[in-house]
Amino acid sequence: MSKTEMLNKELKSHMIELEKQLDSSFDKINNLIDQLFIIDTPISNFNNPKFEQSSPKFDQFNLIGLNEFQLDILQEVKPLINQKIKDQVQFELLQLQQNDCILIQQSSQQKEIQQIIKTPSSQFNLKPFTYQMIKHNSIQEQQSCHVIEINKDCSMVAIGCWNQIKIYEFKQGIMKQIQVFYQSIYSVYNLNFMQKSNELISGDLIGSIVIWSGNNNTQWNSSQTIKGHSAYISCLILNNNEDLFITSSFDKTIKFWIQKNEWIWQQTITDHIDNVYSLSLNDQEDKVISCGLDGRVLVIEYSEQSKTWIVIQNIKVDCFGYRLSFINNNLFAFQPRNGNLMYVYEMNSVSKQFTKTKDIIVNQNNDDNYELFPSQFIKQKQILVIKHGEYVNFIRKTEKDEFKVEQSIHFYTNILFGRLSDDGEYLITWDDSSKEIQIRKYKEE
């Protein structure tokens, strides 16, 4: 090795050692500076004229453990550090003033919000509305369509026409058929899209449940078949996470199904003593309500402790009904079969029991004779859609849990089935009078 190479190597070694010493020194200096900026003085003293004399200074801190080299560096940066302390104090004062301003603004905004809440029509920015039929988009259909399902993004529609399932592409109020397949030889009464897994659940007249897997939404094939009930499945609902669905049946039971590697039975509720017609799940998804031919409404709650669903209330109604729906965690609506009233039930904050608090006049006295067409509450528009007899009623929830019938569409037949899209923009129905699949669009007046 040449002398030059040896000198370069030695110089490189010294440089590495010096770099290590500098790193160590600056680590200690940084720790000291960090201490300098921990201010224990109460913030209320910042405005005190004497604060400048009493504020922390470089000289007040323990410098033991630093070598001469490190002390020399500190002496050089001492003026900078003291200035930094003053800057930090001024910054803290500025932050304090800004926080005070924010608090004042928040208080003012809160008062404005409270004032808005007191104004009935401002709470949801409510406006009168109607659902108007798009006449040229209707589809002639001679077979009874017992169930209509719209997926979450409103891009697909599935319709159960006797034992057929028809899949339509849905775009800007126009339906285009893309597939037809058969569940069995029996009528299909339930359909539910699962967006996350791209699956479709169907239920039929004899209690069979089929899971259909979609391939690019153009080809649906059976992936699992379950013998769910011993009789007709009247209602099938799905939770938001799409890992639980609940079914009711004319076999007088309510069943809970959970997703493992495949869908499996979890639990059965047997408290109804006759046909069960309808189910609804609350916002928190810890309560289910049901109604049936036995003239009872059950409130069923999930117990975290036992990991089971338990009937916590059995409400006797004066007339059985086919439809009910949660409005929120504390309110639900029930539509009796007879008469012209809809009942509203509210949960008592102390007893946690639901009691009837309101009767809402919905339409002329018109008895109902058909189940299916489940009721829905659309939160985005604060609209409850609920069929009664020959009418489909649209009821707006207003301030203080009041309800107003905004529109009643008369179909002149009891044999009427349909669904609102999840955003409330479209209503799709089939009725025995027109023999049409009709599409209606939400329009504010």
* Residue position matching structure tokens 């070694």: 13
Task: Give the DSSP H/E element, type plus range, for residue 210.
Answer: strand 208-215
- Sequential pLDDT tens for the chain (445 residues): 665 666 566 666 656 665 566 566 555 555 555 554 444 444 334 444 444 444 444 444 445 555 665 556 556 655 655 665 556 556 555 555 555 544 445 544 454 444 433 333 444 567 899 999 999 999 999 999 999 999 999 999 999 999 999 999 999 999 999 999 998 889 999 999 998 999 999 999 999 999 999 887 678 999 999 999 999 999 999 999 999 999 999 999 999 999 998 999 999 999 999 999 999 999 999 999 999 999 999 999 999 999 999 999 999 999 999 999 999 999 999 999 999 999 999 999 999 999 999 999 998 767 888 999 999 999 999 999 999 999 999 999 988 789 999 999 999 999 999 999 999 999 999 999 999 999 999 999 8
Residue 259 phi, psi dihedral angles, 5° rounding: -95, 120
CA distances, 85 to each of 35, 38, 52, 92 (Å): 11, 10, 10, 11
**CA–CA–CA angle 138, 142, 144 (5° rounding):** 100
Under a CB-based contact definition with an 8 Å cutoff, are residues 243 and 258 in contact?
yes
**Structural domains for the chain:** 3-111 (no CATH), 123-444 (2.130.10.10)
Structure tokens that stand for 214 in this block: 């979609």
Alpha-carbon distance of 336 to 341, in angstroms, equals 7
Per-residue pLDDT at 366: 72
Within 8 A by CB and 6+ apart from 434, the residues are 138, 411
Per-residue pLDDT at 48: 47
Q: In the sheet where 219-227 sits, what is the strand order?
A: 188-194, 199-204, 208-215, 219-227
H helices present in 190-316, as ranges:
none
The full DSSP string for 75-117 is HHHHHHHHHHHHHHHHHHHHHHHHHHHHHHHHHHHHHHHHHHH
In terms of Cα–Cα distance, which of 426, 412, 375 is closest to 168? 426
Under a CB-based contact definition with an 8 Å cutoff, are residues 231 and 247 in contact?
no
Instruction: Count Cβ atoms within 10 A of the Cβ of residue 288 and give its class: 0-12 exposed, 13-18 middle, 19 or more buried.
Output: buried
Alpha-carbon distance of 168 to 426, in angstroms, equals 15
List residues bridging with 310 in a β-sheet: 301
Helix (H, G, I), strand (E, B) or coil at 299: strand
CB atoms < 10 A from the CB of 75, how many?
10
pTM over 0.85: no
How far is CA 34 from its chain centroid?
46
Q: Tell me, what amino acid is at 368?
A: D
Q: Radius of gyration over alpha carbons of the chain, in Å?
A: 34
How far is CA 216 from its chain centroid?
25
Per-residue pLDDT at 44: 39
Task: Give the DSSP H/E element, type plus range, for residue 317.
Answer: none
Per-residue pLDDT at 401: 81
Task: Give the DSSP H/E element, type plus range, for residue 409.
Answer: strand 403-410
